[in-house]
Chain A
């Protein structure tokens, strides 16, 4: 069975601070895929990044960076120099390589960036 744990329910930071959102996953598959999605207050779900289980390179995109560590089954997301527009609920998700390709979402971390 797949499981995604986002232990941080809510985080508040002051603008320009760095913040890391944690994601820990469980799967029996050796091949799997991890995702991060952002849900701003307007409600839509926005895809941020996909990572394959066989690619442990970290990724940086502007102020966003992702740290994938198979040894600890973690896929953490860091926002550098946070901005008010980063305020949202962030979801980590896991997809296996099986025929049904079911996606399991974590419970989300609500990030509030205070000006």
Chain B
């Protein structure tokens, strides 16, 4: 009964590789997000999708490309991985509306070696 689930939970890969992280939510939310948490625990939004449309695109290298096939899914594809991409990536979802809280997945710890 996981509300927001992302896979994989851990991802270790070499520099230069391309990888994807998948996210699915079963809460009926229409807005989904990707956040990056660095080694100092700082959380920063990367992307936000509302009804499959991109609405927030923070200053993120274009090696990162989100894709939302439907309202319940938001995947993150990363090309040409770099050491600095190592972080925990969180998917989240919420209903549209400013006063709505986001629910987060369990995170994907990406380690680039």
Chain A interface helix/strand/loop/mixed: strand
Name B90's closest neighbour in chain A (CB-CB).
A45
Taking the nearest CB of chain A, how far is it from the CB of B45, in angstroms?
A: 6
Total chain A interface residues with beta-carbon distance under 8 A: 28
A50 within 8 A of B: yes
Q: Which of A16-24, A58-66, A68-76, A100-108 forms part of the interface with chain B?
A: A100-108
Q: How far is the CA of A108 from the CA of B90 in the complex (A)?
A: 16
Total chain B interface residues with beta-carbon distance under 8 A: 26
**Across the interface, do B42 and A107 meet the contact criterion of CB distance under 8 Å?**
yes
Name B109's closest neighbour in chain A (CB-CB).
A43
Taking the nearest CB of chain B, how far is it from the CB of A23, in angstroms?
A: 14
Give residues of chain B (29-77) contacting chain A, Cβ–Cβ below 8 Å.
31, 40-45, 48, 55-56
**Across the interface, do B107 and A33 meet the contact criterion of CB distance under 8 Å?**
no
Q: Which of B15-23, B79-87, B97-105 forms part of the interface with chain A?
A: B97-105
> Given the known A-B contacts A100-B48, A103-B45, are A52 and B99 also in contact in the complex, defined by CB atoms under 8 Å?
yes
**Across the interface, do A95 and B98 meet the contact criterion of CB distance under 8 Å?**
yes
**Across the interface, do B98 and A33 meet the contact criterion of CB distance under 8 Å?**
yes
Taking the nearest CB of chain A, how far is it from the CB of B60, in angstroms?
A: 14
**Across the interface, do A89 and B41 meet the contact criterion of CB distance under 8 Å?**
yes
| Chain B residues positioned under 8 Å from A91 (CB to CB) | 43
B13 within 8 A of A: no
**Across the interface, do B107 and A101 meet the contact criterion of CB distance under 8 Å?**
no
A31 within 8 A of B: yes
**Across the interface, do B41 and A108 meet the contact criterion of CB distance under 8 Å?**
yes
B-binding residues in A (CB < 8 A): 31-33, 35, 37, 39, 43-47, 50, 52, 89, 91, 95-103, 105, 107-108, 110
**Can you name 12 A-B residue pairings with CB atoms under 8 Å?**
A31-B98, A33-B98, A45-B90, A45-B92, A46-B104, A47-B102, A95-B98, A101-B48, A101-B98, A103-B45, A103-B102, A108-B42
